[in-house]
Amino acid sequence: MLSNIKLFKLILVSFLLFTSLLVNINNAKGQAAVMPKTKVIPKSNLQLSKRLLKAPPIKSEWSAGFRLQSDGWALFADIGTAVKFNSKYPNYQYQTNLFQIEFAEKTDIRQKLTINTNSSSSSSNAIGYVFGKVNKFYQARMSYGQRLKIAGKPDPQSASIHWLFAGGLSIGVVKPYKIIALVNDPIMGYVEKTIQYEPAYREVFLNPDLIFGSAGFADGLNQLKYIPGLHLKTGIHFDFSKEKTTILAAEIGASVDFYSNPIQIMLDDQNKKTFANMYVSFQFGKRK
């Protein structure tokens, strides 16, 4: 009887051990099924992933803006192609090859709008005029140049500073400045007439009591003269944009134009072929 009890205990202990072993094996299999296998990624694939996540380098840009000049104003648009300086910062270390188109009006520092409050003109078109002005002078410019980065960034919060130089073709457009004035007619006496400057009308242009006002922009459009020329420009460009894909910039610089024929704006001016100015401009745009 005693031997049977010992055998029973031995069988019971063996059963418990075997059961415990099965439970542990099943738990281990369940954990193995839940936990994903770790995949070893080759080093070459990791490097490729990093390159794919990196932002592509800036390759081109466009922008438009307004320029205040010491002798007038201008509207312009830029199209640029960016070239990397340093592969470590491909989005900020660059030079830009620029194509620029521009439309401007040249004025004289002495110009002042005059309104004849005593005017009794029968013409409803008579408006304020510029005393002593004989021609309006506009410019169309086409330029090619470069903007070279000299300081600032790659920190997006900082400004970048660039040196700009450009040159190209200038087309001067001269339009006679017409006024409405009293003109002495040999037969009818003083009559109201729209005139442009001629030596015979010099005294009229110099007598504000005889001038009612400007004839308006449309008068003289059929008498435009086109004068070819060349220009050069240089300046310092400041880009304040915090985003690498946008442009928010200001520029300060100087430019000079050389024309093939002399141009006159004011009555007592000597006709000149060269026009120089200082400017400040503001522009905005996009990079991609």
Higher pLDDT: 183 or 153? It is 183
Residue 239 confidence (pLDDT) above 70: yes
- Determine which of 101-110, 115-124, 184-193, 220-229 has the lowest per-residue pLDDT on average: 115-124
Residue 30 confidence (pLDDT) above 90: no
Give the torsion sign (CA, 103, 108, 112, 115): negative
Structural domain of residue 13, as residue ranges? 1-39
pLDDT tens-digit map of 63-110? 999 999 999 999 999 999 877 666 666 666 678 999 999 999 999 888
The answer to whether residues 104 and 155 belong to one domain is: yes
Residue 285 confidence (pLDDT) above 80: yes
Residue 7: per-residue pLDDT:
46
For residue 277, give the CATH number of its domain. 2.40.160.20
- Provide the whole-model pTM: 0.73
Q: Which residues pair with 169 in a beta bridge?
A: 142, 230
The answer to whether residues 123 and 164 belong to one domain is: yes
Residue 91: per-residue pLDDT:
62
The answer to whether residues 19 and 134 belong to one domain is: no
Residue 53 confidence (pLDDT) above 70: no
Burial of 59 (0-12, 13-18, 19+ CB in 10 A): middle
Q: Work out the percent of the chain whose per-residue pLDDT is above 70.
A: 72
Task: Tell me how far CA of residue 19 lies from CA of 7, 24, 32, 59, in angstroms.
Answer: 18, 9, 20, 70
Higher pLDDT: 163 or 31? It is 163
Confidence of residue 151 (pLDDT cuts 50, 70, 90): confident
For the record, the structure tokens of 262 come out as: 């002399």
> Is 51 domain-assigned?
no
The answer to whether residues 193 and 77 belong to one domain is: yes
> Is 207 domain-assigned?
yes
- Determine which of 13-17, 176-180, 186-190 has the lowest per-residue pLDDT on average: 13-17
> Is 199 domain-assigned?
yes
The answer to whether residues 115 and 14 belong to one domain is: no
Residue 195: per-residue pLDDT:
93
The answer to whether residues 105 and 144 belong to one domain is: yes
Residue 4: per-residue pLDDT:
47
For the record, the structure tokens of 232 come out as: 């050069």
Query: How many CB atoms neighbour CB 107 within 10 A?
Result: 18
Burial of 162 (0-12, 13-18, 19+ CB in 10 A): buried
Residue 177: per-residue pLDDT:
94
Residue 248 confidence (pLDDT) above 90: yes
- CA 287 to chain centroid, in Å, comes to 11
Residue 101: per-residue pLDDT:
97
Residue 233: per-residue pLDDT:
97
The answer to whether residues 11 and 68 belong to one domain is: no
The answer to whether residues 14 and 155 belong to one domain is: no
Mean pLDDT of 207-219: 88
The answer to whether residues 5 and 109 belong to one domain is: no
Residue 186: per-residue pLDDT:
80
The answer to whether residues 74 and 31 belong to one domain is: no
The answer to whether residues 246 and 163 belong to one domain is: yes
- Determine which of 21-35, 220-234, 242-256 has the lowest per-residue pLDDT on average: 21-35
The answer to whether residues 183 and 61 belong to one domain is: yes
> Is 105 domain-assigned?
yes
> Is 45 domain-assigned?
no
Residue 209 confidence (pLDDT) above 60: yes
Name the strand (E) or helix (H) holding 279: strand 272-287
- Determine which of 198-202, 225-229, 243-247, 257-261 has the lowest per-residue pLDDT on average: 243-247
> Is 230 domain-assigned?
yes
DSSP strand pairing (272-287 vs 60-69):
antiparallel
Domain tally, the chain: 2
Higher pLDDT: 243 or 136? It is 136
